[in-house]
């Protein structure tokens, strides 16, 4: 392979729209297997964030497509794929109007270990005008840990985090946001797949690397409370176990049991998955089934699962929790800390539990749709609140809308479609049961959980009965707070309502391409 990377023609400059979106932040993860772009919308008052959009491009850095070997040199073919992917990301960032100060591009092991790393970075800079930060193994591990803290409320606990990448695996022991120990081992699902066609040889190599690192002895020095895994490989493993793939029970897992299960799996469940994957590989045509389940990661999933099984064995791990967040979210969290003075990564335990549950059952497209849903709902909410506050209830129609009401609405928007995993028919009812019965939302009291569940339950189809709108336990409190029309109020006419809310009705028409008709009854 040539170490001389070509200088490509400069990219055409794409002008951004007028202004920037000050609440949008982005992270680009230049990994061994794929490049990932994460765009989030942040709340400037709290620093909490919600995924706005995410993209992934399969690049396979350091892999010459003309051979079947991995290399420490980034080939010309790999460079061209990298340029194409980053140009797409650049266009998307400009389209979303993300401020340049709100984004960061980071590269991990493939670039870190490349013999022609400097040439690669120079070509990216000269071609696209993009600056890439190459993370050391320690820095990568620290940011992964920071990302996990945004997903799991484990700030005060001693946690071992494991992140399997394409070219390396990061191990971190952290507590209270500080790194107690970290190490990066040259064990990745892409490089293992390329170097070891035979699983037996792969296992022996993994054992040698782990034992030579002294990792086991280091871990024994700490009283580990939890083991948490991140990265796409570990999330795919957990998803396979969650959906019954490991036990040949796809689609047959009980809905009640499935809706209560959190992000975790045991060593026995992992062993079952590895056995199933090995069986699929031996079976004629089995690769098709494996590829169908794990999609583009299928050719590396065996190596990833075997690697994790050996890690479990060497470190005597019995159970692993899984994080939906990793390096990208860690980069975002650090950037938020730079921009928002009052950003506290330990805050918003309630918010973390909502996003965990939403991510548990929603796919990426549903999460994107949920974020858009809340964006529209918030515009309506803010307009109504402004109207009520300026009118002071002089028209006889008074509703007090508070920040906590917006929080409930946001949670309901994110969770409205989680019941779709069980099928489209009656999914709103299934969503209700997951929220109300699953014990997933932490930091909310029982009445608040029920209220969020009811908002989800009644977001579609027929209107709810009056006694089903508000939890019985909240009725007295809500009446006292003035959140329902007071006794003796005069109901406004349809004309008065439409006149007062012209902007909101026009926004509804623009978004849904339908006119909203108002009907007011006396009963």
* Matching residue, tokens 């996990």: 148
Separation of alpha carbons 229 and 161, rounded Å: 6
* Widest Cα–Cα separation across the chain: 83
Mean pLDDT within 54-76: 72
- Are 132 and 126 within 8 A, CB to CB? no
Query: Which two tokens mark 85?
Result: 């992917």
Instruction: Kindly give the pairing relationship between strand 264-266 and strand 319-322.
Output: antiparallel
- What does the alpha-carbon distance between residue 74 and residue 64 come to, in Å, rounded to a whole number? 8
* pLDDT of 305 over the 90 cut: yes
Distance CA 313, CA 291 (A): 27
Indicate the average pLDDT of the chain.
80
Mean pLDDT of 120-142: 94
Question: If you search the block for the tokens 């993209």, which residue do you land on?
Answer: 55
pLDDT band at 317 (very low <50, low <70, confident <90, very high): very high
Residue with the bigger pLDDT between 116 and 17: it is: 116
Residue carrying the six token digits 């009854």: 521
Q: DSSP for 404-445?
A: HHHHHHHHHHHHTTGGGGG-STTHHHHHHHHHHHS----SS-
Note the pTM of the prediction, 2 decimals. Answer: 0.73
Does residue 66 surpass a pLDDT of 80?
no
Pairwise CA distance, residues 70 & 438, whole Å: 45
Alpha-carbon span 371 to 51, nearest angstrom: 7
SS3 22: coil
Q: Look-up: residue for tokens 């539990």?
A: 353
- Number of neighbouring beta carbons within 10 Å of residue 269: 18
Of 365, 360, 361, 400, nearest to 384 by C-alpha is 400
Query: What was the pLDDT predicted at 268?
Result: 94
Residues 408, 416 contacting (CB under 8 angstroms)? no
């Amino acid at each position: 392979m040539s170490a001389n990377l070509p200088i490509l023609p400069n990219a055409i400059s794409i002008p951004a729209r007028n202004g920037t979106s000050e609440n949008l932040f982005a992270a680009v993860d230049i990994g061994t297997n794929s490049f990932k772009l994460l765009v989030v919308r942040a709340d400037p008052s709290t620093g909490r964030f919600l995924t706005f959009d995410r993209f992934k491009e399969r690049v396979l850095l350091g892999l010459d497509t003309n051979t079947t070997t991995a290399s420490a040199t980034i080939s010309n073919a790999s460079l061209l794929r990298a340029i194409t992917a980053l140009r797409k990301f650049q266009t998307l960032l400009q389209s979303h109007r993300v401020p340049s100060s709100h984004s960061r591009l980071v590269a991990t092991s493939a670039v870190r270990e490349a013999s022609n790393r400097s040439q690669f970075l120079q070509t990216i800079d000269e071609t696209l005008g993009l600056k890439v930060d190459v993370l050391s193994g320690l820095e990568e591990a620290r940011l992964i840990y920071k990302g996990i803290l945004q997903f799991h409320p484990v700030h005060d606990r001693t946690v071992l985090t494991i992140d399997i990448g394409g070219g390396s695996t990061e191990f971190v022991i952290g507590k209270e946001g500080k790194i107690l120990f970290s190490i990066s081992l040259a064990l990745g699902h892409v490089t293992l797949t390329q170097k070891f066609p035979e699983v037996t040889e792969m296992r022996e190599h993994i054992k040698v690397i782990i034992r030579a690192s002294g990792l086991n002895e280091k871990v024994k020095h700490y009283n580990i409370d939890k083991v948490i895994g991140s990265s796409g490989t570990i999330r795919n493993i957990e998803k396979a176990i969650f959906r019954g793939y490991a036990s040949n029970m796809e689609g047959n897992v009980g809905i009640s049991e499935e809706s209560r299960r959190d992000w975790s799996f045991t060593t026995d469940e992992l062993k079952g998955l590895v056995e199933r994957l090995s069986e699929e590989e031996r079976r004629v045509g089995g690769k098709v089934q494996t590829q169908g389940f794990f999609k583009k990661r299928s050719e590396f999933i065996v190596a990833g699962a075997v690697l994790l099984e050996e890690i479990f064995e060497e470190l005597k791990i019995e159970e692993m929790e899984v994080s939906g967040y990793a390096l990208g979210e860690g980069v975002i969290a650090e950037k938020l800390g730079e921009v928002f003075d009052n950003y506290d990564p330990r805050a918003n335990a309630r918010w973390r539990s909502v996003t965990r549950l939403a991510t548990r059952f929603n796919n990426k497209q549903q999460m994107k749709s949920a974020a858009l849903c809340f964006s529209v709902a918030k515009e309506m909410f803010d307009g109504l609140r402004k109207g009520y506050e300026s009118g002071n209830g002089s028209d006889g129609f008074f509703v007090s809308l508070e920040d906590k009401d917006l929080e409930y609405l946001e949670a309901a928007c994110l969770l409205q479609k989680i019941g779709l995993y069980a099928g489209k028919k009656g999914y709103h009812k299934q969503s209700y049961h997951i929220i109300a019965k699953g014990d997933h939302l932490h930091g909310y009291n029982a009445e608040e959980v029920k209220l969020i569940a009811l908002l989800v339950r009644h977001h579609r189809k027929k209107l709810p009965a009056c006694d089903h709108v508000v939890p019985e336990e909240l009725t007295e409190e809500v009446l006292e707070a003035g959140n329902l029309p007071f006794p003796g109020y005069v109901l406004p006419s349809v004309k008065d309502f439409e006149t007062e809310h012209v902007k909101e009705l026009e926004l509804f028409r623009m978004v849904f391409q339908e006119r909203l008709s108002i009907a007011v009854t006396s009963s």
